[in-house]
Each structure stands twice: as C-alpha cells, then as structure tokens.
Amino acid sequence: MIKKAEKVNKFLKKTYPEVHCALNFSDPLELLVATILSAQCTDERVNKVTPLLFKKYKTAVDYASADAEEFMKEIYSTGFYKNKSKNIIAAAQKITEEFNGIVPDEMEKLLSLPGVARKTANIILGTAYGKNKGIAVDTHVKRLSGRIGLTKETDPVKIEKDLMKIIPQSDWTDFSHRLITHGRKICNARKPDCANCGMKVFCDFYNSKSI
C-alpha cells in the first residue's frame, strides 16, 4: 500500500505541480463560507454566488447579524440554503463571541463551529493557514482513493485516516487538491478516461477490468 501511495503521490506531483483550491477566497472567513456553501454544490456555482456575498459581508460580525431570510435568498442557488444559512450565521456568531471575530486555526476549535466537519476544517487549516493537520476527503478524493486502491473504507473519516498513514504529512493539503484535479480532468464519476490516465498501471479499478 505504501509503495502504491508513493507512486500515486509522485505521479500527481509531476502531473499537477501547481495546485490550488478551486473556491475563490481572500481570507479564512471567505474560505469558510465558500466551503460550507460548496456542500452538494459545484465550486463553479459557489464562485458565482460569493462575489456579491463577500462584497456585502466582510466580517464575522456582518454574517452573525445577517437577516436569515435575506441571506437564504442570496445563497439560494447553492442548494440546501436553509441549512447553509443557519450554519454560516451560527458559525459567525460563535467566531464573534468566542474567537474574537477570527476564524480559528486549530482543528478542535474549527470542529466546534456549526456546519464544520473534518473536511471543511482540513480545507481551512491547509489552504488558508498552511497547516497540514489532515487530508480533506471530498467526493473526488473518496472516489479516486477507492478506485486506485489506497483504501477500502467508504466513510470519509476512515478514508482520511488510511491516507494519512501512507501520504507524507507535508503533502496532505496538496495531495487532496491534486486528487480532486485528477478526478475532474480524468477520473470522473460516470466515465473515467482510463485510456489517458497515467495511473492505470497501478490502479485497482483499471486492472480489475471492471470498466
């Protein structure tokens, strides 16, 4: 497993040397809001909604005091707007009251925020703060790590634990971004482009001939 992980990581580094978060943001608060909005929604759609949002709401206090009905209308197109609105406003209130208006840079504190689970916390820590404390497991990371054969787990938390054992900690954040990029470009959900995938020689999915 470790040898396979080394091959995967080496390939991804060579193929996607420069990677970044697909969500547009300029500070940790914006990334937190964008990440919560991205649940069950494309990054492209979120990036269309956030420019007006970020122009109107600039601080945690702004979000904390937002009118819930109005805010729901502003994020409506991202789906699950009631839940997302509730979580963003509640998270902002906690950030304002307990963290001096600053998005915390510690895993435990981030996980105490409404709407924040490990994936979101890892994205904030790794992308906004440059801290590799875990691996963000989204749908792409879950799909590819299973297909390639880096884990047999299906639960995101268990997948993350498996990946953390075999991927160097210094690469955790970029590994997630690279796997996501590969998932979007080559190994998509419905029709993976195995013919043009540089990882097919050591990919369980390809070698099982289930395609």
pLDDT digits (tens, 9 = 90+) for 87-122: 999 999 999 999 999 999 999 999 999 999 999 999
Among 43, 138, 162, 174, the active-site one is 138
**DSSP character at residue 75:** H
Instruction: Report the chain's mean pLDDT, rounded to a whole number.
Output: 96
Is residue 138 among the annotated active site residues?
yes
Domain 2-19+135-207 in CATH 1.10.760.10? The answer is no
What would the pLDDT profile of 71-84 be if each residue is shown by its tens digit?
Answer: 999 999 999 999 99
CB-count burial class (<10 Å; 0-12, 13-18, 19+) for 41: middle
Helix-, strand-, coil-residue percentages of the chain, each rounded to 5: 65, 0, 35
The mean pLDDT of 119-144, rounded to a whole number, is 97
Among 5, 4, 49, 15, smallest CA distance to 30 is for 49
Report residue 13's pLDDT band, with 50, 70 and 90 as the boundaries. very high
| 192: CB partners within 8 A, 6+ apart | 147, 186, 205, 211
Length of the chain counted residue by residue: 211
Catalytic residue, candidates 43, 84, 119, 174:
119
Q: What are phi and psi of 129, to 5 degrees?
A: -115, -5
In this structure, what token pair is assigned to residue 139?
């749908």
- Proportion of the chain above pLDDT 90, given as a percent: 97
HEC readout, 20-49:
CCCCCCCCHHHHHHHHHHCCCCCHHHHHHH
What's residue 211's pLDDT?
A: 47
Which ranges in the chain are annotated with CATH 1.10.340.30?
28-128
Q: What class does CATH assign to 28-128? A: mainly alpha
Residue 209 clears pLDDT 80, i.e. is over it: no
Active site residue 62: no
Pinpoint the residues of the chain covered by CATH 1.10.1670.10: 2-19+135-207
- What's the whole-number mean pLDDT along residues 114-132? 97
d(CA 6, CA 203): 13
